[in-house]
Amino acid sequence: GFLPPEPFTREKRIGAAAAEIGIDRLPISHFKRIISTWLVSLFLLLNSSHARGLKKHLKRLNAPKHWMLDKLGGAFAPKPSSGPHKSRECLPLILILRNKLKYALTYQEVIAIMMQRHILVDGKVRTDKTYPAGFMDVVSIPKTNENFRLLYDTKGRFRLHSLRDEEAKFKLCKVRSVQFGQKGIPYLNTYDGRTIRYPDPLIKANDTIKLDLETNKIVDFIKFDVGNVVMVTGGRNTGRVGIIKNREKHKGSFETIHIQDATGHEFATRMGNVFTIGKGSKPWVSLPKGKGIKLSIIEEARKRLAAQASATA
């Protein structure tokens, strides 16, 4: 009579996969059995038909804390598109228009505003609602004659700092690397994904360039030197502004930068977290309220009480 085929069990799948990659011919010992099982599992995982491509969603509880999204405002958050800034270090345009500037109440209203080409980032029209704007980016709205620069406050959150028209014409870019391309053409890469050919030969990695947003040309540059003013863009001291006092080089490890703020407090951070914003003690961009000076909890409480006392007086 006719016998039904045996079900293709997990053991048989592993056996077939092992035969395909030649593991079944190995002399079996305890160690090799563990290795072979791991290799077979990897083989099956790579040949499975599930989970192809990127995740297209982001749960609200998994969104960066500095976006300041309320926990009960829905299950999901806007997932940033691919762009010049990392997804955990950016602010999607939808959050700027809806949550920060309050120009829209809903997702659909944001789309309506953006598709009318009202929003510019670094002088270019952006119609992608989840475009990742980041540190030092200039967001312009010609319809309302407003310009904002994205900077950090001392708690590591993005602040939309209002600008005059003259200041909105340029941005500062940190140089990631300087290299040579085909035919020996020199070029540099910036922190926001730009590639600029034929830079000044004096510009090196970690320096800052002043970029004209209309022509995309380098206007000036700041060397990463002791005595220059910097802003911290990562770590516990994000948003603090101070002057470089000392550079500690550690072979095979991270270089440490010691910084002193305007009140005389000193702190240290990694070199990768430091962004030069001016020569000497004068920054080339205007700073948000607080001027990058971090207050202690006690100082904040005293300031609050003084403000309350002056309001009631």
Residue type, 74: G
Q: What is the CATH number of the domain that holds 191?
A: 2.40.50.740
295 domain residue, yes or no: no
| 209-258 per-position pLDDT tens digit | 999 999 999 999 999 999 999 999 999 999 999 999 999 999 999 999 99
| 2-48 per-position pLDDT tens digit | 555 665 566 666 667 666 666 555 555 665 677 777 777 777 777 66
298 domain residue, yes or no: no
Rounded to an integer, what distance in angstroms lies between the CA atom of residue 154 and that of residue 267? 13
Confidence of residue 56 (pLDDT cuts 50, 70, 90): very high
User: Given this model, what pLDDT does residue 79 score?
Assistant: 97
Pairs from 301-306 (Cβ < 8 Å, separation ≥ 24): none
Nearest CA to 133 out of 160, 98, 163 is that of 160
Strand partners, 196: 188
| 156-166 per-position pLDDT tens digit | 999 999 999 99
Distances (CA, A) of 158 to 148, 202, 257: 11, 32, 23
Confidence of residue 103 (pLDDT cuts 50, 70, 90): very high
User: Given this model, what pLDDT does residue 40 score?
Assistant: 76
> How many degrees, rounded to 5, is the angle at CA 134 between CA 132 and CA 139?
85
| 112-158 per-position pLDDT tens digit | 999 999 999 999 999 999 999 999 999 999 999 999 999 999 999 99
Shared domain for 159 and 199, answered yes or no, is: no
Shared domain for 187 and 237, answered yes or no, is: no
Yes or no: say if 113 and 103 are a contact pair by the CB < 8 Å rule. yes
190 domain residue, yes or no: yes
Q: pTM value?
A: 0.79
Distances (CA, A) of 30 to 23, 70, 79: 14, 52, 45
Shared domain for 156 and 175, answered yes or no, is: no
Q: What is the CATH number of the domain that holds 110?
A: 3.10.290.10
Tokens 């997702």 identify what position? 107
4 domain residue, yes or no: no
Shared domain for 21 and 80, answered yes or no, is: no
291 domain residue, yes or no: no
pLDDT score of 69 more than 70? yes
Shared domain for 127 and 175, answered yes or no, is: no
The sign of the torsion formed by the CA atoms of 282, 133, 300, 62 equals negative
101 domain residue, yes or no: yes
Tokens 């030069």 identify what position? 276
Shared domain for 266 and 201, answered yes or no, is: no
Yes or no: say if 231 and 240 are a contact pair by the CB < 8 Å rule. yes
Shared domain for 159 and 175, answered yes or no, is: no
144 domain residue, yes or no: yes
212 domain residue, yes or no: yes
Average pLDDT over residues 264-288: 95
Shared domain for 76 and 152, answered yes or no, is: yes
Structural domain count of the chain? 4
Shared domain for 133 and 201, answered yes or no, is: no
Domain that holds residue 184: 169-219
Pairs from 117-125 (Cβ < 8 Å, separation ≥ 24): 118/142, 118/143, 119/93, 121/93, 122/171, 122/213, 123/213, 123/214
Q: What is the CATH number of the domain that holds 236?
A: 2.30.30.30
